[in-house]
Every structure is written in structure tokens, then in C-alpha cells.
Chain A
Amino acid sequence: MHELSVAISIIELAEEEASRRGARVDAIHLRLGPLAGVVKEALLSSYEIARENTALAGSRLIIEEMPIVVYCPRCQAERTLESMQEFRCPECRTPASEVLQGKELEVFALELQE
């Protein structure tokens, strides 16, 4: 359970950017991959705790869940995994270990009130 410290990092990052621009943060858009090791629901409730008594008290956290995308060596193409319990190409069933997307834990954008 490290979502609270992740939530605090998100807030610090957004606060820094907002104060640099002299703006207020309305919302944070976060991209989250299943391989980031962070649970969406736990992060959302941690965010509610972490934002209290900060400049982001009234802000929202909007999480966009990213699918896992692998490279299939047989199809020579990018493929979206159906299940994180099975790293193989959904088309040809070839095992695929090269992960192209799915580890994101990234503040993608901020909605700012200037």
C-alpha cells in the first residue's frame, strides 16, 4: 500500500507546476498502466486525503487507464493484451515479452484556472 505516497508526489508535482504558472489546479489527468503497481481505487481515495490542506484541496484526479501493449515478434506488430495474466499475442498466441506500454504512472495534463 504505497498509494498515499504516490498521491502526495502527484500533488507536489502539480503544485510546483501551478505555482510556476501562477495558476490554480482544477484537475489532474493521470495515465496509469497496469504494470505501474498502483491500484486505481486506492489511489483515488488516497488523493482525497492527500489534497486536504493543500492548494489542491478542491481539485479532482482523473485517471485514464492505459492498456498493456506488447510487440509481437511473429506478427511484427504492436498488440494490446487482453489479460495481464497472459503475455502473448491475442492474434497468433505467440509469447510476447517486449512491453511497449502499460508501466505509465504519469501526470499527463493539468486543468489550470489562470
Chain B
Amino acid sequence: MNPRLVELRQNVLKHNDLVARALRQRFREAGVFVVSLVSSPGSGKTTLLEKTLTLLRPDHRVAALVGDLATENDALRLRRSQAPVKQITTGTLCHLEAAMVERALEGWDLDRLDFLFIENVGNLVCPSSYDLGEDLRLVLMSVTEGEDKPLKYPTIFNTSDAAVITKVDLATAVEFDWSAASRNIQAVRPGMRAMRVSAKTGDGMNEWMEFLRSLAGAAV
């Protein structure tokens, strides 16, 4: 018998997309602005997030979820900001999926939050495929990683909404080429806003906070 060709047209990650869509709906109804952070390991997601939570906390109700393969270390660091933080340990999984976010949120009252941050597993490849229901996907690259990161990992940059260049206090020491970095970001994601921040010295934090507040104000 001859095989029959049946058209299916089904998204392989349909299940994740459905959970993400339901999350996005819940976030919108609760009026919480959700930011996910993606980057390679060690580019400063946790440090930026700790500073961000601390600066937002006097005026806003904030919380964070943080993904790692193992350990509670990042959650412990983030809790220094006094904000509620939950660690998601993925075991061997290289990225967060929407269902993990949904599970981690159990017991949390979203109506009592203004901002929720989701720190993804440090990885520039896999997280790009999984929608988490976030309003803003922020990609970080540190000056110590080199200017060509966007060209090497175009997918994660193209699927992100904004970029933050971190550890700018080290830029001179590593002879970071700002114009090449900006050219490369614009090449893979034309029009993307790229901010320069040192969470350590506080340089550029104002611009990042302004950006965040204006987006959240417009969304909520």
C-alpha cells in the first residue's frame, strides 16, 4: 500500500506556547509587568537583577524567579534585596519552560505584584525557543565576552526585545569596541534598544530603570 501524506501543520512546542499564552493572560489581568533575562553564564544577570530589585522595591512590589541547573545560590543572592524570590532548579535542562514558571508561581498572589523578573538559565541557545509569557525579553552581554556575541548567537538577540551591555566598568581594560558592538546588535536586530550598565558602580542604572518604568507604565 502506498503511504498517504497528511498535512498536520502543528507547532512542535505547541504545549509550551499554550501554557505561555495562559500565563501572559494571567499576568495582564493581575497587572504585573514581566521581564525575562537571558544571557550566557557569568554575564551578570543575577547582579543586575539584585540591584534592580533593590532600586524598585521602595516604590513597587517586585518578585523574581531564577533558573539554574542546580544550587540555590542565585536565589540566596537575590533575597538580599528583601524581595520574594524562588529558585527553579532544572536538573539537566538547559532552559526554562512555561510550565516551570507556572509551577513556581503556585502560592503567589500575582495581584500583589507590579514587577516579576524571570532569570533564565545561562545559555544563549536554548532559551530562545521557549516563550515564558513575559512582556519583555532582555538579553545581556558583558563587555568581557567580546563584541561579536550578537553575530555568533543571532537567534537569541533577534528574539529579544532589548539589550543591556553589562560590566561597562571593565570596558577600557578589555578594550571593548563600542561601535562594533552596537553595529553587531543592530545587524541582527535592527532598532533594538541597547543600554550600557555597570551594576557594580551603578553607571547606567538610571537609564535602565527609566526604561523599565516607562514600559511597565505603558503596559499596565
Contact = CB atoms under 8 A, between A and B. Distances in A.
A95 B77 CA distance: 40
B12 A106 contact: yes
A69 interface: no
Interface in A78-101: 84-88, 95-97, 99
Nearest to A70: B190
A112 B155 CA distance: 33
A2 B6 contact: no
Given A17-B8, A97-B191, A109-B6, A37 B155 contact: yes
Contacts of B4: 23, 111-114
Contacts of B189: 87, 97
Contact of A110 (B1, B6, B126): B6
Contacts of B151: 85
A99 B158 contact: yes
A106 B188 contact: no
Given A10-B12, A34-B155, A2 B190 contact: no
Given A13-B12, A84-B188, A111 B158 contact: no
B6 A38 contact: no
Contacts of A55: none
Nearest to A36: B129
A64 interface: no
Nearest to B15: A9
Q: How large is the interface on A (under 10, 10 to 19, 20 to 34, 35 or more residues)?
A: 35 or more
B73 interface: no
Contact of A107 (B12, B128, B154, B188): B12
Contacts of B155: 34-37, 84
B9 A108 contact: yes
Interface string A6-34: 10011001000100010100110110001
A7 to B, nearest CB: 9
B171 interface: no
Nearest to A32: B12
B199 to A, nearest CB: 27
Contacts of A88: 187, 190
A37 B12 contact: no
A20 to B, nearest CB: 11
Contact of A87 (B9, B13, B94, B187): B187
Contacts of B126: 1-2, 37
A105 interface: yes
B218 interface: no
Nearest to B125: A37
Given A9-B15, A13-B14, A17-B6, 18 more contacts: A2-B94, A9-B13, A10-B12, A13-B8, A21-B6, A26-B3, A34-B155, A37-B125, A84-B155, A85-B154, A97-B189, A105-B13, A107-B12, A109-B7, A109-B8, A110-B6, A111-B3, A112-B6
10 tightest A-B contacts by CB?
A95-B190, A37-B128, A37-B129, A97-B190, A2-B126, A111-B3, A26-B3, A105-B12, A84-B154, A85-B151
5 contacts: A6-B129, A9-B13, A17-B6, A23-B4, A110-B5
